Amino acid sequence: MVKLGGLISDLIIERFGVEEYLEKVSDPFWFHSLSLAIGFDWNSSGTTTATLSAIKEHYSRLKDTPVFILGGKGRHLGEMAAESTEIVSTGALSESKMHRIMEDARRIARVDQNLLIDGFDLYMQFLVLDTHGKWSIVQQGMNPQQRMARRYHWISRTGLDFFNDGRNGISAPREMDRVVDLTTGASEGNRRSMLEMAREDPFRYRMKLIEGPQRTLDNFQNQQDVLRLDYRINWAKMREIYEYQPSSFQDIAFMKGMGRSTIRALSYLAEIIYGEKPSFRDPVKFSFAVGGKDGVPKPVNVADYDRTIEFYSEVLRGTRERDATLEHLARKLLNDSTSHTVTGRQHI
C-alpha cells in the first residue's frame, strides 16, 4: 500500500500539480476509489487510516517532499502540533501560516463534531498540505450503535465558510435519520434565532416554555419529529452563553466548552420559540483493483500488486511505451463509461 499509494500520488502530482492532488484527496468518491485501488475493504472503518498512513509513510521518506501529511488517529492525532512545529523548523512554511492552518483544522473538527449532529463521534483527522499552505482535511467519525464509520472531507478555499455548505463531501454507507445539520445554508434561520435567543436571559425563555399544557421542556414532544433530540437542557450553560453575549453564530460555535449537546439544545429551543427549524437532511454523498483484504470482491493478489507497482514505476520514470499504454487505457475507459451510462450512474 505504501509503494502503490505513493506511486499513484507521485504520478498525479508530477502530471497535474500538487493542488490538483489536494483537490482529489478532498473528493470522497476519488479517495474511496484510491483506497480500493491499493487493496482495502470497501466498507472498513480502517480504510481512511490505512490509505493516508501509507501515503504519509511514503512522503515521510522523501527529503524534498511536495506534500506533508499530519495527524492520524489515537496518539498520531495528538502529535499534530509537534509535526506542524517540525515543518516550520524546515522553513517549508512560516510559523504564522502554519498557525492559521492548524486553527482551521481545529475549527473544522469542531464543526463536524458539534454542528453536524449525525450520531458520529470524531476520532481521527489527517491534514494534507503543500509548501504554499494549501490543504485538504480528511477526518472520520464512528457511530458505536450502528457500528459504522463515515468520512468528512474539506479543502482550503478563499473565504472558507464553515456554516454554508463549505464541506467538500461526506462518504458513508448509508444516510442517517434524525440528523441536525447547522453547517448548511438551509439552517440560516435557525442559527439566527439561536444567536437572538443566546443574547436573552435564559430565565425569560425558560418561563415561556413552561407556560401552557406542558410543564417543562422535557415533556415537550413534536408530533412530527418525536425522539429526534435529547430534551434535557443545561440551564447553567445557557446562562453562561448569555453572559458571554456572542456577537455572531461563530462565537457560539467556537465558544470554549461548547459541546454537541448544548448546540443541539440551543437549536431545539430556537425552533420552539421562534419557529425556525434547522435542516434535518443528512448531507452524505457516495470500485476494486487488486482485491480487498476481506476477500471482497476477491482476495488480494500479491502478484497483481507487484506488476502494478512495476508498471507505474516505469511510467513515473518516463518510459514512453508504458506512458502511451496508460493514456490509451484512460481514453478507452472514458469512452466506455460514457457509452454505458444507466440511470445517471457510470459503470466503469
- State the Cα–Cα distance between residues 59 and 53, nearest whole angstrom: 10
How confident is the model at residue 340, as a pLDDT?
43
What is the residue whose three cell numbers read 461548547?
258
| pLDDT for res 341 | 39
Residues of the chain with pLDDT under 70: 41-45, 208-232, 285-298, 320, 322, 326, 329-330, 332-348
Q: How many CB atoms lie within 10 A of CB 314?
A: 16
- Exposed/middle/buried for 117, CB within 10 Å: 0-12, 13-18, 19+? buried
Give me the pLDDT at residue 287, please. 47
Question: How many C-alpha atoms does 124 have within 13 Å on its Cβ side?
Answer: 22
Residue 140's φ and ψ, nearest 5 degrees, are -135, 145
Amino acid at 117: I
Report the pLDDT value the prediction gives residue 290, as an integer from 0 to 100. Answer: 64
Confidence (pLDDT) at 294: 65
Q: Which of 27, 142, 24 is nearest to 74 (CA)?
A: 142
How much is the pLDDT for 71?
96
Q: Quick check: 289 and 51 in contact, CB under 8 A?
A: no
Cα–Cα distance for residue pair 31/33, rounded to 1 Å: 5
